[in-house]
Amino acid sequence: MLKKEARKIYNKKREGISYADKLKWDDLILINFQTIEMPFLQTVFSFYPMEERNEINAFLITDYLHFRNLSLQICYPKMDIKEPNMEAVACKADTVFEANALNILEPLEAEIINPEDIDLVLAPMLVCDVQGNRVGYGKGYYDRYLNRCNPSCIKVGLSYFEPVGKIEDADEFDVALDFCITPQKAYVF
């Protein structure tokens, strides 16, 4: 399958998920995330889910990680749409989020964290393939960002859908995931 085809199919599938299924599947993703062995984490880069696109509720996972380590630093993306580029910004409980031009909520705060200091990335995505190649919205934000992270950074994709057969047009910029968590299973690549 090609990324473009996967994007079309899975954008549509995700739009069709009922609210009841979404709540159930978000919980199952948390349960499956809890089965993977995690080292001590200091800094996590998550994302602010876009409700209108039915993105996964990553807050359930960051709440769980925060509960395990009360001094966990949680970062959210701040985009430079023109570049395109994004940075991880450290957030606190009182951080104010504001919608950007793409209607993604971003922190007003500006403490940019060095990508090399990120221990784990929770990556939004539509679907991945059996080798952990991720398919997002097609702007390459995460490919660019993950290439700046330490090789030891743990890359976890969250998806409502099981991996597809090989994505044929994965290129040299694509950084494969270490895990993909779905409502059915935690895939290890």
Ligand X SMILES: Nc1nc2c(c(=O)[nH]1)N(C=O)[C@@H](CNc1ccc(C(=O)N[C@@H](CCC(=O)O)C(=O)O)cc1)CN2
Under rule CB under 6 A, which residues in 146-175 are in contact with ligand ATP?
147, 171, 173-174
Torsion of CA 167, 169, 175, 178, to 10 degrees: 10
Q: Is 142 annotated as a binding residue?
A: yes
Q: Indicate which of ligand X, ligand ATP, none lies near residue 119 (CB less than 5 to 8 Å, by partner kind).
A: none
Is 55 among the residues that bind ligand X (CB under 6 A)? yes
> Toward ligand ATP, which CB reaches closer, 137 or 189?
137
The one-character DSSP state at 116 is: G
From residue 65 to residue 104, the character string flagging contacts with ligand X as x (rule: CB under 6 A) and all else as - is ------------x-x------x---------------x-x
Backbone φ and ψ of 65, nearest 5°: -65, -35
Q: How far is the CB of 167 from ligand X (least distance, A)?
A: 16
Q: Does 106 bind ligand ATP (CB under 6 A)?
A: no
- Contact, 13 vs 34, CB < 8 A? no
Measure the CA dihedral 134/136/141/145, to 10°: -30
Cβ-based neighbours of 189, under 8 Å, separated by 6 or more? 131, 132, 176, 177, 178, 179, 180
Q: Is 76 one of the annotated binding-site residues?
A: no
Cβ-based neighbour number of residue 18 at 10 Å: 9
Q: Give the three-class secondary structure for 29.
A: helix
Task: Choose which of 9, 60, 144, 176 interacts with ligand ATP (CB under 6 A).
Answer: 144
| Residue 28 sits in the site that holds ligand ATP (CB under 6 A) | no
**Shortest Cβ distance from residue 146 to ligand ATP (Å)?**
9
Spatial CA neighbour of 189 closest among 29, 4, 36? 36
Using CA atoms, how far apart are residues 120 and 112, in angstroms rounded to an integer? 16
**Site map 136..165 versus ligand X, x via CB under 6 A:** xx-x-xx-----------------------
Asked if residue 14 binds ligand ATP (CB under 6 A), the reply is: no
Residue 140 assigned ligand-binding role: yes
Sites of contact with ligand X (CB under 6 A): 47-50, 55, 77, 79, 86, 102, 104, 124, 136-137, 139, 141-142
